[in-house]
Chain A
Amino acid sequence: MEKKKRNLILSVVSILVLIGFIIWAEECTKAFGVYNQRIFKTCCIYAICALSMNMVNGYTGLFSLGQPGFMAIGAYVTAFLTVTPSDKIAIYKIVPISEGLANLNAPFFIALIIGGLVAAFFAFLIGFPVLSLKGDYLAIATLGFSEIIRIFITNAQGLTNGPTGINRIPNDFMNLYVLCGILALVVIFILSMMKTSYGRALLAIREDEVAAQAMGINLFKHKMLAFIISGFLAGIGGGLLASLVGAIDPNQFKFTVAYDILLMVVLGGQGSVSGCIAGAFIVRIALEKLRFLDEPINFGIFEYPGIGGMRMVVFSILLMLVIIKWRKGIFGNEEFSWDKVFNFFSKFKKAPKKEVEK
């Protein structure tokens, strides 16, 4: 019981510290830096995308790479609904936009949710043919659908402005409060969902499909459930990304985005919310903070000339080292807990203790 109390106090304190940090980062722009603020915001958005992928890949045990497609849908819907009608008419130069479409407009949060819902609807449609596939085949099929969506967007000029994309997307709400708030909502939703019977059913499918079905779990229905939720979250992530960047075009949603997100999920730990968030933050921050490797550095004795792309080399080596050390990702498929932190540190002090607590 004492441990429980200790953990509760620690959780409350660290949440307060975190909130304090977010307020500081948002309000004291000068001290924290616009650049760092921007990295923090991107991290939040990618964390949502990583959690979206985790829903399918981590919890349900399917291997889906459809994220870029769903993000693109969310991004385009949000962008389309938030750009003002007069701006839209100005942007759509090659194929002018029809007046009815130009006048479609919605406040940011409603647009964001509509974006998520449309992405979820497409997940539902795509789910019918692909969810009976297994393993790598599902990955290839979802990747294919994701590319179809991108190519459709490229060519539907009257609707999406084609390869030029949409810009002048308002970013009024892109502060850390909104982004961290949405991330927190997503985390709360996922954590409470995984505690329900439906969450357990998804885990059962991951553990053993045959046994899960023999225990009366309708595989298709539950896989579809995970897929739709994942599509919704990816749509939200895409919408936020569109709003943060301010301009989108189809090339931002190439299939390589799926690998970036997969990297975050695998690095953090498939099936762990803490892992996905950690993975998203580590990958985004590392990619930005290693930029100095591309620049020339003077060591005094000799001068490093600065090789373009060097940061990617170093980043990849670091990644490999991390994955060799933690085969199942940093968190495995378990969540963060204070007991684990204490166990980890007690290893250094005394004889190693076995991890029993969850």
Chain B
Amino acid sequence: MAAILETRDVVIRFGGLVAVNLLNIEVEKGEIISIIGPNGAGKTTAFNLITGVYKPTEGVILFDGERISGKRPDEIAKIGIARTFQNIRLFKSLTVLENVLIATHLNIKSNLFSSVLKTPKARKEEKEMVEYAEFLLKETGLLHLKDEKAENLPYGLQRRLEIARALATKPKILLLDEPAAGMNPKESDDLTEFIKNIRDKFNLTILLIEHHMQLVMSISDRIYVLEYGITIAKGKPQEIQENPAVIKAYLGEENDDLC
């Protein structure tokens, strides 16, 4: 099966620092792939490369066989790659519903004037946008909070809202940057279920950065391990757990604290 997302020998340098070196990731449709590695390994940089925040110094990134490296983030979002952020980036002073509505804007067909004049077509489109946003909020269990300001939500729900917002762009691939950060074990178990659930429901392919090993091992189809920008291992969770290089670089040698 052809890969839906593929990075080919992607390199990015910031001055003399090689943040990501020869990154080769292949993601097939419907997979859940995790990228793990110690802090500073280049995981988030890899995400920023895929979503167009950074342009690779060398190499290409392909989506559905089409080159996306060099495109702007908003163009890449339109093509079908959505993401969440490591340090939550919601539109804080806007309501939960507005946060999700904004992410449906990229598919808008009405122009500004017909929107302002509320032509029947524009009105219908707005109604559909609201309906879809409310549907997503229902799926993510946030509907009862739709008129609350995003900044007033508890941390766990803010993470969920970020996922709901990303889903509103109707993505094919969802990139989750440490979705379980700061969650207790119960919450991260729920999150595991939730991620699997949305993958099936929205026909998604998911790329995940996570430090939470239990979550990574139970959810991933395959795992990539980065260290200092270099891919030191890749494979199924079982293989990664047994890989001596990974254990040495990431999990620690004897007294590891896994979770």
Give the B-binding residues of A (Cβ under 8 A). 189, 192-193, 196-198, 200-201, 203-204, 207-208, 210-219, 225, 333, 358
Bound complex: CA A210 to CA B129 (Å)? 22
Question: Is the CB–CB distance between B90 and A211 below 8 Å?
Answer: yes
Other than the given A197-B126, A198-B115, A215-B165, 5 more pairs (CB < 8 A) read: A207-B92, A207-B94, A208-B90, A211-B91, A217-B105
Question: Is the CB–CB distance between A197 and B104 below 8 Å?
Answer: yes
Question: Is the CB–CB distance between B73 and A213 below 8 Å?
Answer: yes
Question: Is the CB–CB distance between A212 and B115 below 8 Å?
Answer: no
Question: Is the CB–CB distance between A208 and B91 below 8 Å?
Answer: yes
Q: Which residues on the A side are within 8 Å of B77 (C-beta)?
A: 213-216
Whether A197 touches B94, Cβ cut-off 8 Å, given contacts A213-B74, A214-B51, A215-B169, is no
Between A200, A208, A333, the greatest number of chain B beta carbons within 10 A of the residue's beta carbon is seen for: A200
Q: Which residues on the B side are within 8 Å of A215 (C-beta)?
A: 74, 77, 82, 102-103, 105-106, 165-166, 168-169
Bound complex: CA A105 to CA B201 (Å)? 64
Question: Is the CB–CB distance between A204 and B116 below 8 Å?
Answer: no
A223 to chain B, nearest CB (A): 12
A22 to chain B, nearest CB (A): 25
Q: Which residues on the A side are within 8 Å of B108 (C-beta)?
A: 197-198
Q: Which residues on the A side are within 8 Å of B105 (C-beta)?
A: 197-198, 200-201, 204, 215-217
A193 closest partner in B (C-beta): B116
Whether A196 touches B98, Cβ cut-off 8 Å, given contacts A208-B91, A211-B85, A215-B77, is no
With beta carbons under 8 angstroms apart, the residue of A192, A208, A219 that contacts B89 is: A208
A-B contacts, 7 of them at CB < 8 A, read A200-B105, A203-B98, A204-B102, A208-B91, A212-B102, A214-B83, A215-B74
Bound complex: CA A203 to CA B92 (Å)? 10
Question: Is the CB–CB distance between B73 and A214 below 8 Å?
Answer: yes
Q: Is B203 in the interface zone, CB < 8 Å from A?
A: no
Question: Is the CB–CB distance between A333 and B112 below 8 Å?
Answer: no
Bound complex: CA A66 to CA B233 (Å)? 55
Bound complex: CA A211 to CA B88 (Å)? 9
Bound complex: CA A197 to CA B111 (Å)? 10
Between A198, A211, A225, the greatest number of chain B beta carbons within 10 A of the residue's beta carbon is seen for: A211
Tally B residues with Cβ within 8 Å of A: 37
Bound complex: CA A196 to CA B108 (Å)? 11
Q: Which residues on the B side are within 8 Å of A212 (C-beta)?
A: 91, 102
Bound complex: CA A218 to CA B105 (Å)? 10
Question: Is the CB–CB distance between B89 and A211 below 8 Å?
Answer: yes
Q: Is B19 in the interface zone, CB < 8 Å from A?
A: no
Which positions 68-96 of chain B face chain A at CB distance < 8 Å? 72-74, 77-78, 82-83, 85, 89-94
Give the A-binding residues of B (Cβ under 8 A). 51, 53, 72-74, 77-78, 82-83, 85, 89-94, 98, 101-106, 108, 110, 112, 115-116, 118, 122, 126, 129, 147, 165-166, 168-169
Question: Is the CB–CB distance between A204 and B91 below 8 Å?
Answer: yes
Whether A210 touches B53, Cβ cut-off 8 Å, given contacts A197-B104, A216-B106, is yes
A51 to chain B, nearest CB (A): 15
Question: Is the CB–CB distance between A217 and B112 below 8 Å?
Answer: no
Q: Which residues on the A side are within 8 Å of B72 (C-beta)?
A: 213, 218
Whether A192 touches B103, Cβ cut-off 8 Å, given contacts A204-B91, A207-B92, is no
A186 to chain B, nearest CB (A): 12
Q: Which residues on the B side are within 8 Å of A201 (C-beta)?
A: 102, 105
Q: Which residues on the B side are within 8 Å of A219 (C-beta)?
A: 74
Q: Which residues on the B side are within 8 Å of A203 (C-beta)?
A: 91, 94, 98, 102
Whether A217 touches B106, Cβ cut-off 8 Å, given contacts A207-B93, A210-B53, A211-B89, is yes
B122 closest partner in A (C-beta): A196
Whether A197 touches B129, Cβ cut-off 8 Å, given contacts A204-B91, A214-B77, is yes
Q: Which residues on the A side are within 8 Å of B129 (C-beta)?
A: 197
Question: Is the CB–CB distance between B112 and A193 below 8 Å?
Answer: yes
Between A197, A212, A215, the greatest number of chain B beta carbons within 10 A of the residue's beta carbon is seen for: A215
B89 closest partner in A (C-beta): A211
Between A189, A196, A201, A333, the greatest number of chain B beta carbons within 10 A of the residue's beta carbon is seen for: A196
Bound complex: CA A197 to CA B98 (Å)? 9
B100 closest partner in A (C-beta): A215
Bound complex: CA A193 to CA B129 (Å)? 16
B164 to chain A, nearest CB (A): 12
Q: Which residues on the B side are within 8 Å of A218 (C-beta)?
A: 72, 74
Q: Which residues on the B side are within 8 Å of A208 (C-beta)?
A: 89-92
Question: Is the CB–CB distance between A217 and B83 below 8 Å?
Answer: no
